[in-house]
Amino acid sequence: MKYQLFAYRTDTATPATGLRVNDQAYDLRGVATSAQVELAVLAIDGLLEDWARANEQLQALAEGIINNPAGFDEHRLDLDALELATPLQRPGTIYAAGANYRDHVAAMGRAFNMKLSLDPRSDGIAPWHFIKAGRGSLAAHKQIVEMPEGTKKLDWEAELAVVIGRRAYRVSKDKALDYVAGYTCANDLSARDSLVRDAVDASSPFRFDWIGHKVFNGACPLGPYLTPAQFVQDPEALAIKLWRNGTIEQDSNTSNHMYGVADQIEYLSQRVELFPGDVILTGTPAGVGMEKGVFLARGDVLKVWIEGLGELETIIA
């Protein structure tokens, strides 16, 4: 029985955790108490620390709700009335893949007359990642994200986000997905006009500013739900779409990944140990604003939808 986790705001400083079962939402603390299930922690960040045990308990809770929904009615929540928080409050490292969708790379090559590889594996080119800041860059579902100061070319990037659930070091591709706790939607917001430092000589290795480009408050909308990995049959076969003000801009499928989720976990874990709560943004498909010379304006509303995972909304101010 499928379940999803989410976090929501209450009158306390720490967000509460919700459990979504068959499109109905429940307060996790309440249903666990009613079912006499003793969860070690309630926050999603904490659940990830012992994900195998927590996942088993949460699955049992979900099945209990399905078998006796009336017994949990007092803990039901109205999702439309809630202010959601990001699923993770204290994420680990956020690794983000660049140039990882065939359609996006092809579109960028056409738009800027660049010679970009559409088969990096055969060309001996390894996966490529950068790092986004953790807590400071996260934004929740329906959260307002302010335009970074001085930016006139703020862009969108719909992405499948992978949340790690076990310590992973030097894992093989065939075992890599065993280390995934779940998946969620992300939007890798990018300040395109903050990448190049014009005052620095073009020959200098310090000309590019990836922090200015990719790291600012709200630069990584994430959510609304964490969908456990067992409910995603194949992360390389998910439809992914993004709308800007109701107009579809990105419409693709994760089958266009040049390096899949397992490839990326294998590659990253050869260099550094991955920990529960680390996040991998797996790249964006064709249709970003940079390809078309169209960028975000204040008041724009973005919606990222990924098959089976939900829809993430962001408002630009």
User: What was the pLDDT predicted at 13?
Assistant: 87
Q: How confident is the model at residue 118 (pLDDT cuts 50, 70, 90)?
A: confident
My answer on whether 230 and 113 are in the same domain is yes
Q: Which of 270, 249, 263 is nearest to 107 (CA)?
A: 249
Q: Are strands 310-316 and 143-145 parallel, antiparallel or unpaired?
A: parallel
Nearest to 184 by CA among 3, 306, 91: 306
Domain-terminating residue out of 85, 116, 133: 85
Do 280 and 298 lie in one domain? The reply is yes
The tokens describing 51, both together, are 């994900």
| 194 and 254 part of one domain | yes
User: What pLDDT, on the 0 to 100 scale, is given for residue 42?
Assistant: 97
Query: Tokens in use for 142?
Result: 């329906």
pLDDT exceeding 90 applies to what percent of the chain? 89
How far apart (Å, rounded) are the C-alpha atoms in residues 27 and 76?
7
Distances (CA, A) of 141 to 116, 155, 184, 305, 310: 34, 18, 11, 12, 10
At 149, list the tokens.
């100061």
Please give the torsion angle defined by the CA atoms of residues 307, 128, 222 and 150, in that order, rounded to the nearest 10 degrees: -130
pLDDT in tens, 136-184: 999 999 999 999 999 999 999 999 999 999 999 999 999 999 999 999 9
Measured distance CA(145)–CA(169) in Å, rounded: 35
Strands 76-77 and 129-132: unpaired
Task: Quickly state the pLDDT bin for 108 (edges 50, 70, 90).
Answer: confident
Provide the token pair at 54: 């927590």
Residue 107's pLDDT band (cuts 50, 70, 90): confident
Tell me: pLDDT of 109 over 90. no
Q: What is the overall mean pLDDT for the chain?
A: 96
**What was the pLDDT predicted at 154?**
98
Which positions ≥6 away from 105 have C-beta within 8 Å?
A: 99, 116, 117, 118, 258
102 shares a domain with 70: no
**180 shares a domain with 66:** no
Say whether both 138 and 161 belong to one domain: yes
Q: Examine the pLDDT at 113 and tell me if it is beyond 90.
A: no
Same domain for 28 and 159? no
Query: Taking residues 6-25, what's their average pLDDT?
Result: 95
The answer on pLDDT for 12 being more than 90 is no
- The domain total for the chain is 2
- Does residue 51 sit in the same domain as residue 181? no
Which residues span the domain enclosing 108?
94-316
Q: Is the dihedral of CA 145, 148, 153, 158 positive or negative?
A: negative
For residues 288 and 144, state if they share a domain: yes
Apex 312 CA angle, 257 and 164, nearest 5: 55
Mean pLDDT of 106-126: 88
**What's 302's domain CATH number?**
3.90.850.10
Cα 167 to Cα 141: distance, rounded to the nearest angstrom: 28
- pTM passes above 0.95: yes
36 and 155 together in one domain: no
Q: Which two tokens stand for residue 275?
A: 């920990």
Query: pLDDT-based confidence at 250, cuts 50/70/90?
Result: very high
Residue ending a domain, among 51, 85, 119, is 85
- The CA distance from 124 to 121, in Å, is 5
Q: In three state form, how does the secondary structure of 172-186 look?
A: CHHHHHHHEEEEEEE
pLDDT (0 to 100) of residue 112: 84
Give the residue from 85, 109, 143 where a domain finishes. Answer: 85
My answer on whether 162 and 311 are in the same domain is yes
Do 185 and 45 share a domain, yes or no? no
Residue (of 139, 162, 158, 133) closest to 48 by Cα position: 162
Mean pLDDT along residues 112-130: 90
Summarize the confidence of residues 226-230 as an average pLDDT.
98
